[in-house]
């Protein structure tokens, strides 16, 4: 259910690292809890964020929720396709429904996040 090639944040974002670039998205747990997503506010490219900062917002038929940066870095790309079609997060949260890519400023922060098994246990205990 949770891909093992990613790390997971307690606020339900995932991170996939390739080189020094971290792709960030919402976990399956998050998108199911939100329900039908109707709007996504993305970060601006060039924005510096610290781990725990807001990267934007996601609005569903149920609520508006912040999207948190699980790691620190500079936004190098925001997924404009998700802005145009927010339902991509519901349809493919681990693929085309990613939110943003960061150039990592502190790569060691990845080790502070949960692996897939730990995250699955975390959400089962909620």
What confidence category does residue 1 fall into, taking pLDDT thresholds of 50, 70 and 90? confident
For position 58, what pLDDT does the model report? 97
The reply to whether 96 falls in a domain is yes
120 is a domain residue: no
Question: 14 and 8 in contact (C-beta within 8 Å)?
Answer: yes
Structure tokens belonging to residue 30? 């998050």
| Distance between CA atoms of residues 15 and 101, nearest Å | 9
* Residue 111: inside a domain: no
Residue 119 included in any domain: no
Domain count, the chain: 1
The whole-number average pLDDT for the span 18-46 is: 97
Query: In this predicted model, what pLDDT tens digit does every residue of 67-125 receive, in sequence order?
Result: 999 999 999 999 999 999 999 999 999 999 999 999 999 999 999 999 999 999 999 99
Do the domain assignments include residue 126? no
CATH number, domain containing residue 16: 2.40.50.100
Calculate the average pLDDT of the chain: 97
**Is 118 inside any structural domain?**
no
What would the DSSP string read from start to end of 22-51? EEEEE-HHHHHHH-SEEEEEPPPTT-EE-T
Pinpoint the alpha helices (H) of the chain.
28-34, 80-84, 88-91, 116-124
Which strand (E) or helix (H) includes residue 100?
strand 100-104
Residue 117 lies in a domain: no
Question: Is 75 inside any structural domain?
Answer: yes
Give me the domain span that covers residue 51: 7-106
């Amino acid at each position: 259910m949770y891909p093992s090639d990613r790390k997971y944040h307690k606020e339900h974002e995932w991170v996939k690292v390739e080189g020094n670039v971290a792709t960030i998205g919402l976990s399956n747990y998050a998108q199911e809890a939100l329900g039908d997503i109707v709007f996504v506010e993305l970060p601006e490219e060039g924005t510096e964020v610290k781990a725990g900062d807001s990267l934007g917002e996601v609005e569903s038929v149920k609520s508006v929720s912040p999207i948190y940066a699980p790691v620190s870095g500079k936004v190098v790309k925001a997924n404009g396709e998700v802005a145009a079609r927010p339902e991509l997060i519901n349809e493919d949260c681990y693929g085309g429904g990613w939110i943003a890519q960061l150039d990592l400023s502190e790569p060691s922060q990845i080790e502070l996040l949960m692996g897939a098994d730990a995250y699955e246990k975390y959400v089962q205990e909620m």
